[in-house]
Structure 1
Amino acid sequence: MTSRPQTTVLLHGEQTGDLVSVTEIVVPPRSPGPPLHVHGFDEAFYVLDGELLFRVDDVVASRGAGEVCFAPRHVPHALANRSDVPARYVLVCTPAGFERHWARLAAAAAGVEPPEWALAPPPEVTVVGPPIGGPDGDLTTRR
């Protein structure tokens, strides 16, 4: 399996007046995930399969199938898949915009051009720390 997430945008901003986007994401096994970061939109993560480790602000928690994690805008957060199997989740972003990032990744992986709606720049993301699944990440978890 690839080391990058596999993504499918299910609902994009042009379909919702830029209010919300929905993306299905498969995180490969042993993926350290993105670095700790902040941005100006809210994210809700609904885990469909597997288990993901989340850090939101100073709280680190594991979430499995059927569980949700919420990361409010401007709050540092990250996720990782520390297990030996892929994890799959649905990401809901409000307002919309970051789905353009996921659509561009999917297009690049497929060797095609991204859809026209994904050509505008995605919202800015600011890295504020290391990935939680990497060697410098936080290892303390709470359920």
Structure 2
Amino acid sequence: MTSSTSSPSTLPDDDPQRELVVTSPESDAVSHISLAGNTYSILVTGQQTAGRYCLIDMRVPAGGGPPLHRHNFEEMFTILEGEVDFVFRGNVQTVSAGSTVNIPANAPHHFRNNSGNPVRMLCMCTPAGQEEYFTLCGDAVDGPTSAPPELNDEELAERREIAVRLAPQYATEQLPDDGL
């Protein structure tokens, strides 16, 4: 007769307080943020992952993308639709739908949609926090395809000031324009 014994697990116990998260960009529970002309749908928050990561559905119109920056966390993009230029440490690489890009922590980077067509990509940041930063710096919109608010020069300057002021709290540094 064979006896089966199991050794004690070295894994922590399951946390029954954490729930399964199922979401889509069209869900009423998802926040949509317009930031610098892009629309970011916060699919999974740090609150839902015990701070481990966040997942953001990014819709980037032609000409869109953030300024040059760096941050002390990993950032990974999977291009779902379109083609986008990633600038990493000053070098440009065009990335098409189906590809994934990982940006190491602290590396200077940004992306720009120079394709003339809309781009859609998923962005995962680990650990979480970027979704909070975006929420504080951007403007809430109704849905993933909502038009960004029309901001005057004073409102744009106010948003930039907020982003620069809050950046250190979110392990982010805005960098001088690289001209790319």
Q: Flag whether TM exceeds 0.5 (same fold).
A: yes
Instruction: Mark the runs of 5 or more structure 1 residues left unpaired by the alignment.
Output: 112-120, 138-143
Tell me how far apart the structure 2 counterparts of residues 23 and 103 of structure 1 sit (CA, whole Å): 11
Extract structure 1 runs of 4+ deviating beyond 2 A. Answer: 101-106
- TM-superposed deviation, 1:124: 3.5
**1:13 counterpart (46, 53, 59):** 46
1:25-63 deviation digits (Å, cap 9, x = unpaired): 1001122x2221111111001000011100122432111
**In structure 1, C-alpha distance between the alignment counterparts of 2:78 and 2:67, rounded to whole Å:** 20
Measured on the aligned residues, the alpha-carbon RMSD in Å equals: 2.1
Q: Which residue of 2 aligns with 1:130?
A: 177
Which of these residues, 101, 104, 109, is aligned with residue 133 of structure 2? 101
Work out which of the residue numbers 53, 61, 71 in structure 1 matches 2:93.
61
Matches within 5 A, 1:1-143: 4-31=37-64, 33-104=65-136, 105-107=138-140, 109-110=141-142, 123-130=170-177, 136-137=179-180
Structure 1 or 2: more strand by fraction: 1
Bigger RCO of structures 1 and 2 (CA < 8 A, at least 6 apart): 1
**Equivalent residues of 1:55, 1:61 under 8 A apart:** yes
SS of match in other structure, 1:103: helix
What is the aligned residue count? 121
Letter matched to residue 102 of structure 1: F
Q: How does the TM-score come out when normalised to structure 2?
A: 0.61
Q: What TM-score, normalized by structure 1, do the two folds share? A: 0.76
Deviations 1:57-81 (A, max 9, x none): 2432111100011111111011000
- Compute the displacement of 1:106 (Å): 4.9
Query: Structure 2: any 5+ residue segments left out of the alignment?
Result: 1-33, 143-148, 150-165
